[in-house]
């Protein structure tokens, strides 16, 4: 029998290609899977039997997994490289080109090393004392690892507080935490058991992903115990210890990109998902909701506010004071078709709120219960939960019949009326009854053991309904809650944040944590959702920051029941209108970044050290971020500021977007921060695609231009930009094109070359190029003609007619 006194003694029992099985004298098993040169998986089974369910997370380079999950012994999609295996000194050595794993046969303790510059560097060791739970304590899953004081820990999805998770502990349980503190509240909405360890002095790191659906906790050094030295640990409430080690030997982003690839291809969503999305609880809760919704369109037109979509809050489903999913309140919306057509005619798509719980007096409750579509108790009766205004029961999406019912309702109650997309909300599935049972695709299991799976299957069912309804259109949908793999389906946001300056500051770190966890299509409720209404300065500064996030939505449920709107404070309405126009000017850059995320798994938002890992100043806690590799954004997060100090990372030079002034890196500068101008700079050597068409509400226009910041002297800069129709699935057949932009310079001449390739016809014959005004070299155009040149602010604006 296994005991602390006698740790299990392992031996290599068998090898089946890239799967090694070690078995102990106590029946414990350690499985090792060599998946890629930089990815090795370890699974620990204390009694030799797998206890965990199938995986819905692993989908290497694929759009999705089977609806009932992936067998955990399925290694398809991985390259399964040749590796070295040898046994010496009571250790088993497993080695690829990038990773070396040493397993102590006495106790199964693992030691991980990475190779760089021809030498191996140890980066991770299991704790010397009781690294695993071989049924010593209870049935939970434990993994204890040694901790180094110089390490930083990043990721774990959506977390409050500092970006560096060191010396903190986190509980990973999806809950509805309305009005949370972005500095302290834990847990939050999402279940992403992946994090990156980075050692700044060595510039080495790795990612760890624990493939579990269980509620779990991560202690990153907050807990201390004199008997074990410095350590950190992971604990899951049930299942197996099944984790992936992902090398990150050059940049912190290496492991992030590989984790994203391993868990599925990010959804390529319609371009309109980058536009401004209006929303507020206030409108649909009003008795004259349809009139209030029309007022929003009228106000957008009056103040020239560009808008692509509106997120329709759940008040449209009300009966009395309560909300009933898929029910339309015809008193609030007497002409549903006319309402949706009016929005469509103005170019504003509607995204309707849907919830996965039926209240006990829902009109369809008895029908759904009789069909067995609810999470139920052992006797088949509903497993009751508290939900919004009433007690209800969650739908069980592990039942194929529930998925069919849901898809039919999404189509009949929403899409057939002209609603374009779905807002999957309140989908944390707070099932606390340990006796509640889920269908499990015919293999029933305790419902509380896979709450996040229900969340994932709900959003997948919503997406599939949209695909079936309009197969030629790209689905767009959002979800508040989620887990690993949610990037395959949805755009997301940081939930019901509290209105404060502190929230603005810490939401920045929260978004970066999500981006470093494979989730890039993200944003916040601009202005704050819960609490007091934002004052004019806070709202404007929040909009200034929000224009740089992939999701840009102003949403609220303020204590005074006011609505956060671009025009709520007349003294800043004009500035907000211009900021939204700046957002639309930058959309081509964001769209290309999302394309790179979709194709190459590169996160859109990044902390500065991710781009400059050798600059120690970039590891200091701050409020700056990179958007792609070109833009450095320094948002104002304190009241009453007219200036903003910005540290410019060493290793690049930086130019102010507003003044055109060039700064050397490696120093701090103080820049003006007026209300109409967010502080951001462009990295020298960058190409940023722009939309320079004049924009007005309900008259969208698109004209491509390129902002180029070439270095002085002999240097070359290249960039590209994706173009497609922005709406359809035609891109899957290759119906898209690329702009290719190059600037090659010497001391006297700057050579520009612009070209367009692909199946899509070139969308325009003239292109604007913006160069810094300090650019004094002669301009030569390789495949076109320079037809106009003028200085606009700190930039030279060139108009180039392209050759036929």
Residue pLDDT, tens place only, 464-508: 999 999 999 999 999 999 999 999 999 999 999 999 999 999 999
Residue among 467, 290, 321, 460 at smallest CA distance from 390: 321
Q: pTM above the 0.95 mark?
A: yes
Identify the DSSP state of 374: B
Rounded to whole angstroms, the Cα distance separating 713 from 708 reads 15
Residue 104 gets the label, from left (phi > 0), alpha (psi -120 to 50) or beta, of: beta
Residue 476 has what pLDDT? Answer: 98
Query: Residue for token digits 């009781």?
Result: 130
Task: Assign domain 703-802 one CATH number from 3.90.1010.10, 3.30.390.50, 2.60.40.1180, 3.40.50.300.
Answer: 2.60.40.1180
Please provide the size of the chain in residues. 804
DSSP string, 111-172: EEEEEETTEEEEEEEB-SS--B-SSSS-SSEEEEEE--TT-EEEESSS-SS-SS-TT-EEEE
Query: Residue for token digits 């990973």?
Result: 172
Pair 354, 342: CB distance under 8 Å: no
Residue pLDDT, tens place only, 428-459: 999 999 999 999 999 999 999 999 999 999 99
Residue 804 has pLDDT above 90, yes or no: no
Residue pLDDT, tens place only, 281-333: 999 999 999 999 999 999 999 999 999 999 999 999 999 999 999 999 999 99
Percentage of the chain lying above the pLDDT 70 cut: 99
Residue 517 has pLDDT above 50, yes or no: yes
Q: What is the pLDDT averaged over residues 717-732?
A: 97
Percentage of the chain lying above the pLDDT 90 cut: 96
List Cβ<8 Å contacts ≥24 apart for 456-460. Answer: 456/56, 456/482, 456/483, 456/485, 456/486, 456/489, 457/67, 457/397, 457/398, 457/403, 458/356, 458/395, 458/397, 458/406, 458/424, 458/427, 459/424, 459/427, 459/486, 459/489, 459/490, 460/64, 460/67, 460/489
Burial of 714 (0-12, 13-18, 19+ CB in 10 A): exposed
Confidence class for position 389, pLDDT limits 50, 70, 90: confident
CATH fold of 318-492: TIM Barrel (3.20.20)
What does the angle CA 61 – CA 64 – CA 69 come to, to the nearest 5 degrees? 120
The CATH superfamily assigned to 61-68+76-262 is: glycosyl hydrolase (family 31) (2.60.40.1760)
Rounded to whole angstroms, the Cα distance separating 775 from 779 reads 9
Write out the two tokens for 77: 């999609």
Q: How many CA atoms lie within 13 A of 648 on its CB side?
A: 23
Pure H helices in 524-569 = 536-546
Q: What is the pLDDT averaged over residues 555-581?
A: 96
Residue 137 has pLDDT above 90, yes or no: no
Pair 141, 239: CB distance under 8 Å: yes
Domain boundaries, the chain: 61-68+76-262, 318-492, 605-683, 703-802
Residue 453 gets the label, from left (phi > 0), alpha (psi -120 to 50) or beta, of: alpha
Q: What is the pLDDT averaged over residues 709-719?
A: 95
Residue among 90, 6, 79, 88 at smallest CA distance from 40: 79
How far is the CA of 217 from the CAs of 220, 464, 742, in angstroms?
10, 32, 49
Residue 3 has what pLDDT? Answer: 59
Confidence class for position 5, pLDDT limits 50, 70, 90: low
Pair 373, 402: CB distance under 8 Å: yes
Q: Do domains 605-683 and 703-802 have the same CATH topology?
A: yes
Q: Is 614 helix (H, G, I), strand (E, B) or coil?
A: coil
What does the angle CA 87 – CA 88 – CA 92 come to, to the nearest 5 degrees? 40
Q: What is the pLDDT averaged over residues 396-409?
A: 98
Pair 383, 431: CB distance under 8 Å: yes
What residues contact residue 507 under an 8 Å CB cut-off, 6+ apart? Answer: 182, 494, 497, 524
Confidence class for position 1, pLDDT limits 50, 70, 90: very low
Residue among 98, 55, 101, 93 at smallest CA distance from 76: 55
Extended beta strands in 410-556, E state: 421-424, 437-438, 445-446, 477-479, 482-483, 491-492, 525-526, 552-554
Q: How many CA atoms lie within 13 A of 579 on its CB side?
A: 27
CA 162 to chain centre: 17
Architecture field, domain 605-683: Sandwich (2.60)
Residue among 597, 621, 649 at smallest CA distance from 509: 621
Residue 6 has pLDDT above 90, yes or no: no
Confidence class for position 4, pLDDT limits 50, 70, 90: low
């Amino acid at each position: 029998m296994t005991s602390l006194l006698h740790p299990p003694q392992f031996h290599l029992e068998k090898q089946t290609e890239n799967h090694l099985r070690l078995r102990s004298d106590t029946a414990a098993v350690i499985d090792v899977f060599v998946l890629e040169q930089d990815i090795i998986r370890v699974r620990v089974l204390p009694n030799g039997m797998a206890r965990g369910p199938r995986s819905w997370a692993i989908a290497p380079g694929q759009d999705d997994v089977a609806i009932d999950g992936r067998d955990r012994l399925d290694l398809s999609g991985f390259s399964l490289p040749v590796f070295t295996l040898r046994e010496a000194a009571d250790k088993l050595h497993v080695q690829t080109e990038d990773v070396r794993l040493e397993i102590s046969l006495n106790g199964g303790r693992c030691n991980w090393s990475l190779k760089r510059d021809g030498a191996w560097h140890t980066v991770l060791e299991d704790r010397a004392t009781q690294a695993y739970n071989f049924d010593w304590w209870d049935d939970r899953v434990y993994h204890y690892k040694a901790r180094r004081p110089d390490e930083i820990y990043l990721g774990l999805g959506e977390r409050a507080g500092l970006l560096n998770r060191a010396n903190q502990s986190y509980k990973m349980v999806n809950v509805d935490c309305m009005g949370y503190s972005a500095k302290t509240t834990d847990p939050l909405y999402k279940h992403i058991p992946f994090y990156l360890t980075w050692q700044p002095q060595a510039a080495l790191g790795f990612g760890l992903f624990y493939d579990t659906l269980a509620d779990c906790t991560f202690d990153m050094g907050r807990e201390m115990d004199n008997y074990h030295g410095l350590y950190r640990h992971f604990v899951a409430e049930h299942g197996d210890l099944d984790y992936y080690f992902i090398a990150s030997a050059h940049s912190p982003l290496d492991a992030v990109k590989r984790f994203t690839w391993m868990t599925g291809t990010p959804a390529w969503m319609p371009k309109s998902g980058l536009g401004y999305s209006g929303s507020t609880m206030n409108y649909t809760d009003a008795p004259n909701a349809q009139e209030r919704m029309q007022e929003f369109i009228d106000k957008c037109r009056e103040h020239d506010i560009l808008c692509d979509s509106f997120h329709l809050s759940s008040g449209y489903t009300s009966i009395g004071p309560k909300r009933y999913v898929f029910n339309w309140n015809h008193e609030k919306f007497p002409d549903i078709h006319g309402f949706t057509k009016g929005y469509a005619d103005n170019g504003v798509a509607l995204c309707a709120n849907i919830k996965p719980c039926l209240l006990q007096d829902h009109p369809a409750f008895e029908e759904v219960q009789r069909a067995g579509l609810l999470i139920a108790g052992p006797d088949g009766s509903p497993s009751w939960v508290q939900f919004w205004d009433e007690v209800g029961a969650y739908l069980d999406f592990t039942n194929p019949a529930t998925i069919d019912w849901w898809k039919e309702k999404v189509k009949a109650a929403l899409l057939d009326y002209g609603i374009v997309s779905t807002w999957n909300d309140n989908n944390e599935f707070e099932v606390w009854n340990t006796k509640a049972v889920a269908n499990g695709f015919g293999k029933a299991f305790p419902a509380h053991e896979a709450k996040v799976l229900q969340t994932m299957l709900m959003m997948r069912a919503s997406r599939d309904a949209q695909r079936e309804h309009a197969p030629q259109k790209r689905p767009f949908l959002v979800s508040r809650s989620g887990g690993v793999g949610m990037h395959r389906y949805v755009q997301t946001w940081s939930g019901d944040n509290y209105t404060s300056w502190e929230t603005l500051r810490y939401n920045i770190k929260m978004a970066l944590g999500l981006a470093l966890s494979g989730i890039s299509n993200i944003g916040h409720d601009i202005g704050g959702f819960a609490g007091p209404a934002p004052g004019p300065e806070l709202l404007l500064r929040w909009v200034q920051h929000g224009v740089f996030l992939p999701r840009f939505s102003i949403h609220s449920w303020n204590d005074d029941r006011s609505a956060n709107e671009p025009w709520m404070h007349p003294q800043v309405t004009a500035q907000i209108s211009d900021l939204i126009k700046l957002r639309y000017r930058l959309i081509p850059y964001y769209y290309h970044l999302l394309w790179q995320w979709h194709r190459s798994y590169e996160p859109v938002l990044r902390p500065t050290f991710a781009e400059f890992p050798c600059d120690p100043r970039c590891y200091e806690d701050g409020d700056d971020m990179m958007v792609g590799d070109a833009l450095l954004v320094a948002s104002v997060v304190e009241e009453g500021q007219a200036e903003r100090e910005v540290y410019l990372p060493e290793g690049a030079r930086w130019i102010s977007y507003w003044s055109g002034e060039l700064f050397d890196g490696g120093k701090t500068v103080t820049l003006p921060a007026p209300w109409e101008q967010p502080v951001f700079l462009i990295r020298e050597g960058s190409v940023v695609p722009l939309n320079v068409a004049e924009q007005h509400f309900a008259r969208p226009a698109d004209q491509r231009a390129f902002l180029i910041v070439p270095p002085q002297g002999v240097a070359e800069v290249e960039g590209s930009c994706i173009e497609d129709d922005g709406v359809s699935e035609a891109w899957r057949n290759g119906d898209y094109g690329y702009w290719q932009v190059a600037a090659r310079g010497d001391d006297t001449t700057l050579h520009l070359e612009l070209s367009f390739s692909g199946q899509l016809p070139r969308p325009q014959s003239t292109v604007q190029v913006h160069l810094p005004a300090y650019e004094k070299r002669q301009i030569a155009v390789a495949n076109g003609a320079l037809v106009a040149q003028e200085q606009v602010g700190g930039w030279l604006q060139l108009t180039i007619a392209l050759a036929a």
